[in-house]
Each structure stands twice: as structure tokens, then as C-alpha cells.
Chains A and B, each alone.
Chain A
Amino acid sequence: MAKEKEFLAAYDKYAAGILKHIYFRVNNWTLAEDLSQETFFKTWNYLAYGSGNIKNFKTFLYRVAHNLIVDHYRRKAKIPLSLEAINAEEIPDNCTQEETTNLLINKELVKECVKELDDVSRRIIIYRYVDDLEIEEISELTNKTENNISVIIHRAIKILKVKINGKICLTKQL
């Protein structure tokens, strides 16, 4: 009875976040719904039939979700994970300087550029800024050191900056 309540409480607290996280990883609502459903079903089955004890629901759920996302890509595309990043447009040579003002940086643009990141950086950026996870939690989920995580985040933001700059420059040229 207690486990049941705990599980449902965890659902009420984290389900929306999990769904959102999966969506930003796979960019498809139907798929995100399917995978988040599977995440929770699997988690309950683990409680009912597996070794059964979950200390931290939040990290457990995110871990299950991540594994399902990986499985999905492995099954569907049979493309090695490193090639998963959507092909980015070439940034023209005359657009390398920082021309953008903050006013031009909007959500759509940021979302587009995040999609173009490599899988590892994308995953961690989403954990950090979309899911609001702590560096500690991200480190546990990804099995990387906290230092490594900070470095990845720092680099990713830099890359995003360059990409966003390039895109804005491109649209200006049109």
C-alpha cells in the first residue's frame, strides 16, 4: 500500500517533467507519450516483480526514460549514436563574428540549435535547463563526473552561441 502511494505520488510529481524531457529528446509527441507510458509501467513492474526498492524516484525514472530513448533509436534507425545529431546548416564564412543582439535570440531559435547538438551535449543541456536537474543528479544519471558535466555544459553553450549567431546572420542575408 505504501509503495503504491509512493509510486503514484512520484507520478504526480514527475510525469509531466518526464514527458517533456522525452519530447525534447525525440521531437515527437506521440513517441514521447508512448515512451513515458512505458517508463512508468516498467518502473511499477520493477517495484512489483523486480528487486523492488527505489530510493530516488526522480533519478530512477529519468534513467529508465533515457534507456528507453536509446533503445528506441537503436531499434528504429540502426544508426550509431554519434551520428544522431540532425545535420546542421553550414555557417557561412562572413557570419563568424558576433552580430546578434540579445533581442534576436528567441525560444524557437534556441530549440532549433539544441536539436543540432550532438547527443551527449543535448541530453545534458536538456537535463540542466529544461528539467532543472542539479549537476549532482545529472552526474548520477550519466555516470560522468560533476566536473565533466560542467565542462560539457560550458562547451555546449558556446556551440549554441555560434550556431544561433550563424542562423540569425543567415536570415539577415535572405
Chain B
Amino acid sequence: MSHEAAIIKNLKNLKSKKDNKKFLLALRSKLVAHIAANPIKNERKQHFLSMPLISFASIQSFVQAFPLAASLIVIITLLASTTGITLASKNSLPGHALYPVKILAENIRSSIAASPVSKARLETEFANERMTEIKKIITEENPNTENLDAAINRLEEHTSKVSDIIEEEEEKGKDVSELAKNINSTLDANQENLNEAFKIEKNNLTGKEKNLKTKITEAKKNSDVQSAQILTDRLKEVNQQKRELEKRKNDSEKILEENNMKISSKMKPDEQKAENKKRTEKIIQKLENGKQEILDNSQNDGTPVSPDIFSDFDPLLSQAKNSFTYEDYAKANEYAQKAKSQLSKIEKSIEENLNPEPKESEKNNDKKQYNKSRYEQKNSESEKSQNQIEEEKIQTKSETNLSGKEE
């Protein structure tokens, strides 16, 4: 074999060492969600609108005879119908029928943007809109994770467009510091809002968990095996919801943080410094709150945690605070990020001790149960899952029991 042939043979056999199956599968599901949220526009035709009232031939002859009138009629009809539908779509959420119309309207506005700066502002507006949508979805009774993911994906698209435009304008030699500052502050404000909403929902779910656990213990005391089982299933559902929520929270946080860093690096140096200081201060405060929360919860729950679970966390936090005092915000941020991942580990291990994640085979059953209850929710008139309805039955049952006992 000639050397050339040997080279070619080796080229053809260049195998990528990495196992890509996991990534490719995950990407496929993301795409399916994206497709669901963004169907092709032609397929959105309403049936009754597509039935022709007038024959095509007669329309042709009308247009030929009265071209001006014909075009006016077309314009007016389009304006009337699309304006109405567009307005109606303004508050729609991913997964709703009119959502694609909303997105289409946004795309049109973006493509006719007069300048890169106005496009950047538009994309910022759209990013804010995505955050509003995410907030609304997570406050629903049983948030649909596909819709949530679709909104988060779009959020990422908008934010990267914004930072791309800013970078491009900078490359052209324009002063982008003012624009960066403005965009940054509006995104920051909305991000705060969104984080608050996630926190509230998480607390909600934690409350539900505690509630259910109390009831389960009670049911077991009364040897009510059936109720105990139903309540345990419901508890698993809530655990799952909480985990899914946490994941989306982290996803959106990551996207917004990265974007924030890119954009704030384009601001004026002293404003950047102020921004860094603000950001680092926030993170340090969050860390302290996080630790306090863990300690408080352990006290309230009566599930003590040993003080040395914070042994890796504490020195990192104090180093962060130290650097902060010396105004080295980059270092402070670095330590804070490390402390943050420590804190997540601690939270996770506590979480797993309290609400053990089910084993593999059980996991699939739980997923089926979760999906089944979501499916039933979609089909029932109320927004409650089967388990929720059962849970409430048990609630009223135990209440009547109580009242019975009192008599």
C-alpha cells in the first residue's frame, strides 16, 4: 500500500473516542420540544377559514377588472385579521395555539429593525418576555416541562443575539457602553423577578412535601394502608416536580449569568466595577442566606445536621468576603462560585436523605405516573391530577373522621 493510501485509510478510520449517544438523544428531545413550540406556519390554518366562499376564477377576473380595489381589499383584510389575531396572541404561553403567532410577530419586528441597536433592544424585550412566560408557566398547577424548556431555549437565543450585536457594534468601533448598561439593567431586573418566582414555587412545593409527610405518618398510624400509598405516590410526584423546577431554574440562571458577564464587560470600566461589586455582593448574600436556611430547616424539621457539613463551604465563603473587602471582585466571585457549588452539594445530599430518589426501575414507574397524571390533568376539566383529587378525598375523609371523633 502506498503511503497516500495508508494516510487515506487512517483518515477514514478517524473515530471520535467520545460516546455521543447521550448527547444526541438529549438533543433530539430538545428538538422535539422546540418543534412543538414552533410549528410550521402553514399548518396553523383554521379549517373554517380555508373553505373558499368565492371561486378562484371569479377572484381572478375581479382582480383584473379592478386592480386597485382588489389590492385595497387584500390589505385591509390582512390587517384586520392579522392585527386581531396578533393582539389576541400577545399573552399566550408556549404550548398554546396562538403562541406561534406571537413568535412570528416578534420575528417580523426583529427582521425589520432599523438598526443593530434597535434590534438589540428588541431582542432584549423578547428576552424579557420569555422570562415573563417562564414565570407564568411555573406558577401553573402542574407546569409542563416541555413548554418551560421551549421558553428557556428561546431565552438563550435572544440573549445570545443581544450579546452578539453588542460585540459586532464594538468591533465596528462604536461606543457600546451606554447600550450595554441599559440592556444590562433591564435584564438584571427581570432576572431578579424570575429568581424570586422560582424561589416562591420551590417553597410552595416544599410546603406541600411537609404537609404530605405529616399526613402519611398519620395514615400509617391509623393503619390506613391505602391512603398512605396514595399519599406516598403524590409525594413522589411533588418531589419530581421540585427536581424538575430546580433544573430549569439552574438552566435559566446559567444562561442569564453568562450573558450578564458578556454584556457588562462592554460597559465603562467604573460602571463595570460597580456592576461586579453589586453582583458579588448579591452572591455572597445568597450564600449566607442559603447556609442559614439549611440550619433553620434542620431545626424546624427536627432533622439535625452535623456542623462539619459546612467544613468545605465556610473557608471559601470567608475568602470570598475577604476579597470583597479588598475590592478584588474577580477573586471574590471566583471563591463565591466555588462556595456556591459546595452549597449545592450540601443541599443535594440533605435533599436526598429526606426524599430519596427512587431506584431506576421505580423511576420509570414514577415517570409514567407523573406523565399519566399530567395527561389526566389535561383531559379533566379542573387542573388537578388524579393523585391530587385522591389526596383531597383523603383530606375530607380525615376531616369528617375528626369531626366524627369530636362528637
**What residues of chain A lie closer than 8 Å to B121, measured between beta carbons?**
none
- The reply to whether B20 and A16 form a contact with Cβ atoms under 8 Å apart is yes
The reply on A152 being an interface residue by CB < 8 A is no
Which of chain A's residues has its CB closest to B157's CB? A41
CB <8 Å contact, A157 and B31: no
CB–CB A15/B34 < 8 A: no
Docked pose: A49 CA to B15 CA in angstroms: 36
**B49: Cβ under 8 A from any A Cβ:** no
Of the candidates A37, A49, A109, the one having the most CB atoms from chain B within 10 angstroms of its own CB is A49
User: Is B12 engaged at the interface, CB distance under 8 Å to the other chain?
Assistant: yes
Stretch at the interface among A55-63, A98-106, A137-145: A98-106
CA gap between A8 and B8 in the complex, in Å: 32
Q: Which residues of B contact A49 (CB under 8 A)?
A: 38, 41, 103-104, 107
Q: A94-129 CB contact bits vs B (8 Å, 1 = yes)?
A: 000010101001110111001000000000010001
Cα-based distance from A36 to B31 in the complex (angstroms): 12
> A161's contact among B3, B15, B23, B107, by CB below 8 Å, is which?
B3
Minimal beta-carbon separation of B89 from chain A (angstroms): 15
The interface residues of chain B lying within 8 Å CB-to-CB of A44 are 31, 34-35, 38
Partner of A110, one of B10, B31, B103: B10
In this complex, how many residues of chain A approach chain B with their Cβ under 8 Å: the count is: 46
A11 CB to closest chain B CB (Å) equals 6
Interface assignment of A172: CB less than 8 Å from any CB of chain B: no
One digit per residue, 1 when the CB lies within 8 angstroms of any chain A CB and 0 when it does not, for chain B 337-348 equals 000000000000
Closest residue of A by beta carbon distance from B100: A48
Partner of B41, one of A20, A48, A98, A158: A48
Shortest C-beta distance, B357 to chain A (Å), equals 26
Residues B13 and A107 in contact, CB atoms below 8 Å apart: yes
B361 within 8 A of partner (CB): no
> Is the CB of B14 closer than 8 A to any CB of chain A?
yes
Interface string of B73-109 (1 = CB under 8 A from A): 0000000000000000000000000001001100100
Q: Are A75 and B14 in contact (CB under 8 A)?
A: no
Q: How large is the interface on B (under 10, 10 to 19, 20 to 34, 35 or more residues)?
A: 35 or more
Alpha-carbon distance A29/B24, docked complex (angstroms): 13
- A-contact bits for B1-24, CB 8 A (1 contact / 0 none): 101101110111111101010011
Compute the total of residue contacts between A and B using a CB distance below 8 Å.
101
Whole-angstrom distance from the CB of B400 to the nearest CB of chain A?
51
Q: Is the pair B16, A41 in contact by a Cβ cutoff of 8 Å?
A: no
| B20 partner residues in chain A, CB cutoff 8 A | 16, 19-20
Q: Which residues in B have their C-beta under 8 angstroms from that of A130?
A: 11-12, 14
B40 contacts A47, C-beta separation under 8 Å: yes
Answer whether residue A64 sits at the interface, using C-beta atoms and an 8 A cutoff.
no
CB distance from B5 to the nearest CB of A (A): 8
A40 and B27 form a contact (CB under 8 A): yes
Give B103's nearest chain A residue, CB to CB: A49
Residue of A with least CB distance to B40? A48
Is A75 within 8 A of B3, CB to CB?
Answer: no
Known: A7-B35, A41-B34, A49-B41. A19 touches B24 (CB 8 A): yes
Chain B interface (Cβ < 8 Å from any Cβ of A): 1, 3-4, 6-8, 10-16, 18, 20, 23-24, 27-28, 30-32, 34-35, 38-41, 43, 100, 103-104, 107, 153, 157, 164, 167, 171
Q: Can you show 17 pairs from A to B with CB atoms below 8 A apart? A: A8-B31, A11-B28, A19-B20, A19-B23, A19-B24, A33-B23, A41-B153, A48-B35, A48-B39, A49-B41, A105-B3, A105-B6, A107-B13, A110-B7, A125-B11, A130-B11, A160-B7
Point out residues on A near B: beta carbons under 8 Å: 1, 3-4, 7-8, 11-12, 15-16, 19-20, 23-24, 29, 33, 36-37, 40-41, 44-45, 47-49, 52, 75, 78, 98, 100, 102, 105-107, 109-111, 114, 125, 129-130, 132, 157-158, 160-161, 164
